[in-house]
Amino acid sequence: MKVSIFVIFIVGVFGDCDKSKCRSIPIHYDELGCKPVINSGDCCPKSFDCSNLESRSDDKCYYNGKTYDPDSSIDDDSLKASCIGAAHCTDGGNFIHAHRDCAEFFGPPLPSDCIRQYSRDQCCSIGNVCGNKAKELKTCEFEGKTYKIGERMYSDKNSCYTCYCTSDFDNKLSFDKNPNCVKVNCQLEILDYNKIKNKCVPVYHKDSCCPSNWRCPSTDDAVVAGNNKDTSGPKCKFGKLEFNIDDSLALGDNKCQKCTCSIPPFLSCSFVDC
């Protein structure tokens, strides 16, 4: 009996770890199918296993854990919410794609007494509610603002999620546990797969979920040693270089970017004030 009580206690401690206290994880690890590496007793990943990328064939396409042969396409249901209209795998192992243009992007402004209606599984508006019907719509409270049912809600705290005002929206739930919030898909495997194949790393703006640029290896790259004296842990790789935790990439005259090894195996690159 004493053993059973002890085991239950241990499971409770680690099963309830607060992942909100973990370092922010760049979205490319999730979209590329990398697996978090969490040491025994820890709550947060110290690195990721991206070995799945090494086994990918140059003449096939990859998206959301599936493999596509040349001349095949991603089924429409998988892309319906993404604003990508179609994606077709080419012989070179890349997708050619079309962008979905929504009618609301081109039509006249919506009358002031109308509310656009959105669904979590659709890119474009599914309709409008106007006049007295719009006034009668129930509301949601989200980050200090009031929304009507059917409206999209964008967070100022976490740009990686879009939420939708519904009759059962609960603003007390965290983003990842809220059924009315959807994680943003940057579509890196469709839009930027050439960069991924060339071992480039994404560059992010502060507070932006999706990368806005990429940095690719060059012969001028060099490692700038950090203050971490422990060289036994996981390492970042960039081109032919290896980086220990806290090492950074020498960027020469480029003062507007910073690349450090913080969550291997990718360097973490961001734009900085310059």
Q: What is the pLDDT of residues 236-254, one digit of tens each?
A: 999 999 999 999 999 877 7
Distance of CA 103 to the CA centre of its chain: 27
Below-50 pLDDT ranges, the chain: 1-14
Same domain assignment for residues 93 and 115: no
Domain that holds residue 162: 103-183
Does some domain include residue 73? yes
Q: What is the pLDDT of residues 35-81, one digit of tens each?
A: 999 988 888 899 999 999 999 999 999 999 999 999 999 987 778 88
Number of domains in the chain: 3
Q: What is the pTM of this model?
A: 0.84
Residue 4 lies in a domain: no
Nearest to 96 by CA among 105, 83, 86: 86
pLDDT value at residue 16? 62
Strand 47-49, strand 35-37: pairing: antiparallel
Token duo for residue 22: 């973990």
Let me know if residue 198 belongs to a domain: yes
Closest CA to 46 of 243, 249, 245: 245
Q: Which of 128, 158, 183 is the last residue of a domain?
A: 183
> Which of 160, 183, 206 represents a domain boundary (last residue)?
183
Strand duo 241-243 + 236-238: pairing: antiparallel
- Say if 151 falls within a structural domain: yes
Query: What percent of the chain is modeled with pLDDT above 90?
Result: 70
Domain termination site, one of 183, 203, 231: 183
- Asked if 162 contacts 152 with a C-beta cutoff of 8 angstroms, the reply is yes
Domain-embedded: residue 1: no
